[in-house]
A and B are shown apart, each in its own frame.
Chain A
Amino acid sequence: MRKLAGENHASAMTESLGKARPHESALQHVTGAALYGDDTPLPSDVLYVATGQSPVAAGKISEINLAQVKRSLGVVDVLTAADVPGSNDVSPVYTGDLLFAEDRVDFHHQTLIAVAATSQKLAEAAASRLEVLIEQETPRLTVDQALNANDFVLPTRVFRMGDAASAIASAEHQIEGQLHIRGQEHFYLEGQVAVAVPTETGGVSVITSSQHPTEVQKLIADVLAVPINEVQVKVRRMGGAFGGKETQAAPLACIASLFAVRTGRTVKYRMPRRDDMVQTGKRHDFEAKYSLGFDSLGRLQGADINLSARCGYSADLSEGIVDRAMFHADNAYSLGAAEIVGRRLRTHTVSNTAFRGFGGPQGMLTIECALDEVADHLHEDPVDIRLINLYRPDACFTPYGQEVTDFRLRPMMEQLITDARYRERRAEVTAFNQTSTYLRKGLALTPVKFGVAFTATHLNQAGALIHIYTDGSVILNHGGTEMGQGLLTKVQQVLAGAFGITVDRIKVTAAATDRVPNTSPTAASSGTDLNAMAVLDAAETLKQRLSSFLISQGAGSDIRFGGDQITDGQTVWSWLDVIQRAYLNRVSLSATGFYKTPDIYFDKEAGRGRPFYYYAFGAACTEVVVDSTTGEHRVTQVDILHDVGRSINPAIDRGQIEGGFVQGMGWLTTEELLWNNSGELMSNSPSNYKIPTAFDVPERFNVALYQKDNPEATVYHSKAVGEPPLMLAISAWCALRDACRRPGEQLPALGVPATPEQVYWAMTGERSHAQRRDLQ
């Protein structure tokens, strides 16, 4: 009997965990039944919101004239900073992120006023009639301009290990360089949206597309000057987020809520795509400078890395983002003595924000760019320089003092070198380039080591709520939000495994602040790590209750759950039977769960600690072909080996890896954010900001999961997979740069993103053109 129960348990495991189950909403997605914020059914008296925006990037507001706006057809209400009853500051951590501009404007298209009108069109028409007088100032747009003005949103931080300057100076070889890394627009397919419904007590109930419902809830309460319990916020799903809905969704929800409370009507605020592109934050641009000292084998002795981020007009999340860039400036390598400096510059541009990787990609790109130069300097294959510098038993501490344990990259890279035939293909590429006249190929293999956990330690907590109903069906709720990453699918599988029931019995529902309170954002790749553990905690409580109940009814003490059944090794009861009997015997069938990540801490001032619970690893090998007449290029083959621990759902993990790679490839190749000299974003629509299409994805796109249990006590020993794969795309940029090298010449500089134009200048060696002077 015991054995049988064990088998049952195993079969329930295979039914749910580790299975490539489709997304929990797949059927709703393909039939159009899945509802997003924009699809919320609305009453006929609903109001729509549009905003009046700053026509300049910097200046003092001398007059705002609303007469024309108020007179405009269909207008019901108009808001300015002065009309906010509570706080006009909607910053997530520090201060300075404003709902409405107050006495000055600090970026082009900053929100000055909001209009609520009876249709979207009328709201937009009214907002466009805003008259505003601004004493214009010359905007500071670049990192260098802000450095010259000594203008920072937050203090500079340094990680130090040993004496980098003297280690570099005394090394056999040195290189020095710099890299201008552009930002990235999220381009989630679903634009920002919020719908607010007033409640009878002066509060609101809000549907938003946010990764952080709790923060939206708190900020609405602050803005309305009501207690948090007057505000309910709900997120069923987002149409993509990528970090762009961690803080950026809140202003819409706040403005819609203000109007809802003032007018007593339902209010919908959905940004047209152009507003979304010019008014919401993006990935940070960085100015990176590095100098490395190394021996004749290419082994690093010391590194001095300066990362200066363009943060925009306010702090937003720039503290953690620049920290994470610094945390990843070593990527997978022991740098020797190291000094890593992170600066946070204030500019008259929209406040940059979270974006998949959260600064990590920029830090990592810097060291990968530098290592290619080390290889070039020594005439070595870059992959050998990478291998020789990987963390190793005698060099396993990061510049911030965390020991790198369970380091998997050496076997992973070696496996990928074999599987992708890197050495043979290196020879083929070299041979091709020797005979080809105008087409050139490039190849690169780069690793990723990405730290998992929020670096703000208190965020590493989660809550869950489970109800079991008398027909045996289960409702599962937790603080995590679904943005396409498959969180709800994975957590559903985890709970099915814990209860030993089929997935179909479990309904996953919207994140709602009145069900699970005080949640952290679904971010830092930690959605499953945190929420699934909280769910397991709640499941454990319920299983205990059910077990105690059965024991109290005379069952044996070894109760097991599996195969839609529960057994004590002697008798087998169906799930439904036990649930119904438990109910009749007054056993509570509802429980909450809680989890906090153990063992992590970080001393910000000292730059020391264990900020990460564990690292996720990956490696990618990418080949490209470039046309030297135009700089047009194409990725021709990608081979990826990525570490997911023990996969809860291999299809979802693969989807994250492929999607992350392609998104990273877009950042590094076609997606070019450009501002003109007055600080207006020129790449402000999908017609001039180009994310990859299906055509940009190579036919040979081989992805393998490196499945080996995470030694940490994560959920089923899996690993986070949301962000790390984005950085696999660094291999595409390195391969393009490899292709740009002219035989016998030095590795040329290559812009980021490597648009056809940037590749063209890299190939012709005309450095003077490599950076756009007219556009920032």
Chain B
Amino acid sequence: MQVVVNGAVRTLVGEPEYTLLDALRLDLGLTGTKEGCRSGDCGACTVLIRESGQLPFYPVNSCILPVGQLEGQEVLTVEGLAQDGELHPIQGAMVDHHGSQCGFCTPGFVMALAGWLEHQKIKDVEDQPATQAIQEAIAGNLCRCTGYRPILEAARAALLKPLPVLGVGATAGQDALSDPTNRSLAELGLERNQRGQMNPGEQAPQAADLEQSSEIATASQTLGDSAQDRVAAFRVGLDPNGGGARAFYAPEDLASLHLILSALPDAVLIAGGTDLMLAVTQSGGALGDVVSLSKVQAIQSIELNEDSGVIGAGATYSDLMDSARIAWPELHRFLSRLGSPQIRNRGTVGGNLGTASPIGDMLPILLAMDAMVVISSAKGVTRQLSIGDFIQGYRKTALNQSDYIREVRIQGLQDFHRYYKVSKRQEDDISSVSVAVRVQTQGQCIRDVSVAVGGVADRALRLADIESAFIGKSLTEASTLDISALVGEVISPISDVRASAAYRTAVTARLIQRAMIEASGDSMATIYEAASDA
């Protein structure tokens, strides 16, 4: 398969779980990108990628990114950032502000910030980012030496400088562009992009579309041999010998996805890979045939209406964060606590559902928002399950073989809701406890309430007994109701490395209570607000 790396077309071969980091370091000799953890936690391996020449680059963790997902895309590493011997503004600023000590984390910071600056460029220049925005931009990058202050200052300084154009099309990419194969790649990117630019109205696959797409799938399945050809067409040419037992497939539409899933019932689905790839990099596991969802635009759209919404399973957290800014501000705020920018740029809602981890942060929220999960079979036949029924146990879902999640539908955006997450560290940490509460009122009286929690059982769950304790009460009554004993009865969390059982129970009760106090109109300042005033 071919990828554009720093403006040049490179051919890569390897197994389906072959990561971009290994490709860069071991095969392309680009050792500027560092390995610090291989688990998406440290950011030393950060590079920029983009779908095509027209979109801005965005930062990702190359250590957990399978190269199969990058065919025809563009990768920019720290070696490709400077152009014609001219440092990128963030590189210069990092030198000027003493942003590196041992330097091992530096390429990762430089790339994360170069990616962030790309996005600042297209934002309102008046909108000077606060320190917090920069801190969030590098929340996925660890530095053990500097204490970060000089890095934050470098970012602030770079922001004031004119930014170069990155990648193919920029001067550094001239050579690549003058090569006819590369030109066609660039054009291919362009074409993809145009295909990807759907009108807002078209985005969410509605029930009717679902039917239609399943027809397409059936139709193409009758094609017999040529169907096999179509399956093969989406096989990413990673194998050095052209054949081989395991392969990576990257379909681009539902019809092809259905074909592939039908042909390969044992294949494993990968969306962002931010969960799945850890099994490979941490436990040395190998994947079988892999089917990537990352290019299936049809399951990536997000539509948030006044009170309800549809989120494509393949939508990334970053996309969701953008969409939620106005329509679902509580989610927008909460998502900044999920993973890091690099993780949010790849990780998907479908992946969170597919993992069904007890500490999946979207799950309590979806439970509280009475979400319905739309599942499709390989034939394109869809069914809907409530999220409560979808999650069947510890990392166990109601998905059958070759099923995939197409989208999830939520409601109650108009209601009062609060989502909390407690972890040892504020940024890029896994929840000890997460709590989502949604309150529906009639006047001052609680008509209905959803209380969902994560991190306190083998799965995320709704706490029906707690909910009933609140229903019918006035908001003031609810805000003073002592539920700690009841919470202690209905949950029995475990003690582990993140928190003790006693703490989990105590904090769950306190957070539910806190939501009720806030619902009653008493806004409770957070430590972050307290930190930024005065």
Residues of A bordering B, CB below 8 Å = 20, 22-23, 25-36, 38-39, 41, 121, 124-125, 128, 186-191, 237-242, 272-274, 438-439, 441, 483-486, 625-627, 629-634, 636, 651-652, 654-655, 658-663, 670, 672, 674, 682-683, 685-688, 690-699, 701, 755-757, 760-761, 764, 769, 772, 774-775
Contacts and interface: CB of A to CB of B under 8 A. Distances in A.
Contacts of B532: 699
A240 B145 CA distance: 7
B149 A701 contact: yes
Contacts of A23: 98, 100-101, 103
A674 B497 contact: yes
B222 interface: no
B32 interface: yes
A27 B92 CA distance: 8
Contacts of A26: 94-95, 98, 100, 103
A629 B507 CA distance: 7
Contacts of A32: 30-33, 77-79, 107
Given A26-B94, A670-B425, A693-B427, 15 more contacts: A22-B95, A23-B100, A25-B100, A30-B95, A124-B284, A190-B36, A239-B102, A484-B101, A662-B147, A672-B497, A682-B496, A686-B39, A690-B424, A694-B151, A701-B149
A511 to B, nearest CB: 15
B527 A27 contact: no
Given A189-B143, A627-B526, A239 B103 contact: yes
9 contacts: A25-B103, A32-B33, A190-B34, A484-B102, A485-B101, A625-B530, A629-B510, A695-B426, A757-B424
A755 B497 CA distance: 12
Nearest to B140: A693
B138 A694 contact: yes
A629 B29 CA distance: 51
Contacts of A692: 148, 425
B255 to A, nearest CB: 36
A439 B525 contact: yes
Contacts of A775: 495, 497
Contacts of A36: 34, 104
B74 interface: no
Given A22-B96, A484-B145, A670-B425, A31 B79 contact: yes
A20 B306 CA distance: 56
Nearest to B280: A121
Interface in B109-158: 110, 131-132, 134-136, 138-139, 141-152
Nearest to A441: B530
Residue in A41, A272, A651, A761 whose Cβ sees the most chain B Cβ within 10 Å: A272
A630 B507 contact: yes
Contacts of A125: 284
A674 B50 CA distance: 40
A630 B102 contact: no
Residue in B39, B79, B136 whose Cβ sees the most chain A Cβ within 10 Å: B39
B503 interface: yes
B135 A755 contact: no
Nearest to A633: B527
B268 to A, nearest CB: 19
Contacts of B361: none
B495 A38 contact: no
B91 A273 contact: no
B142 A693 contact: yes
A679 to B, nearest CB: 14
Nearest to A676: B497
Report, nearest first, the 3 A-B pairs whose CB atoms are least far apart: A32-B32, A484-B102, A239-B104
A274 B282 CA distance: 8
B531 interface: yes
A629 B509 CA distance: 9
Contact of A634 (B36, B92, B528): B528
Given A25-B103, A30-B87, A31-B87, A634 B527 contact: yes
Interface residues of B, number: 91
**What is the predominant secondary structure among interface residues of chain A facing chain B?**
loop
Given A273-B37, A655-B98, A39 B142 contact: no
B144 A188 contact: yes
Contacts of A242: 144
A41 B26 CA distance: 10
Contacts of A483: 102
A191 B105 CA distance: 12
A686 B427 contact: no
Contacts of B147: 655, 658-663, 697, 701
A38 B425 contact: no
Interface string B495-508: 11111101100110
B212 to A, nearest CB: 42
A659 B145 contact: yes
B387 interface: no
Contacts of B188: none
A38 B104 CA distance: 11
Contacts of B38: 272-273
Contacts of B502: 769
B275 to A, nearest CB: 11
Contacts of A629: 507, 510-511, 513-514
A239 B100 contact: no
Contact of B36 (A30, A33, A273): A273
Contacts of A755: 424
B42 A686 contact: yes
B506 A38 contact: no
Contacts of B100: 23, 25-26, 29-30, 484
A70 B472 CA distance: 69
Contacts of B102: 188-190, 237-241, 483-484
A682 B497 CA distance: 6
B95 A27 contact: yes
A190 B42 CA distance: 11
Nearest to B528: A634
A32 B139 CA distance: 21
A698 B533 CA distance: 12
Nearest to A20: B98
A674 B527 CA distance: 27
A584 to B, nearest CB: 37
Contacts of A41: 29
Contacts of B78: 30-32
A662 B39 contact: no
B524 interface: yes
B422 interface: yes
B458 interface: no
A631 B423 CA distance: 10
A30 B110 contact: yes
Interface string B44-86: 1000000000000000000000000000000001110110000
Contacts of A237: 102-103
A439 to B, nearest CB: 6
Contacts of A187: 142, 144
Given A128-B284, A633-B527, A634-B528, A756 B422 contact: yes
B534 interface: yes
Contacts of A485: 101
A760 B96 CA distance: 42
B41 interface: yes
Given A31-B91, A32-B77, A769-B502, A756 B424 contact: yes
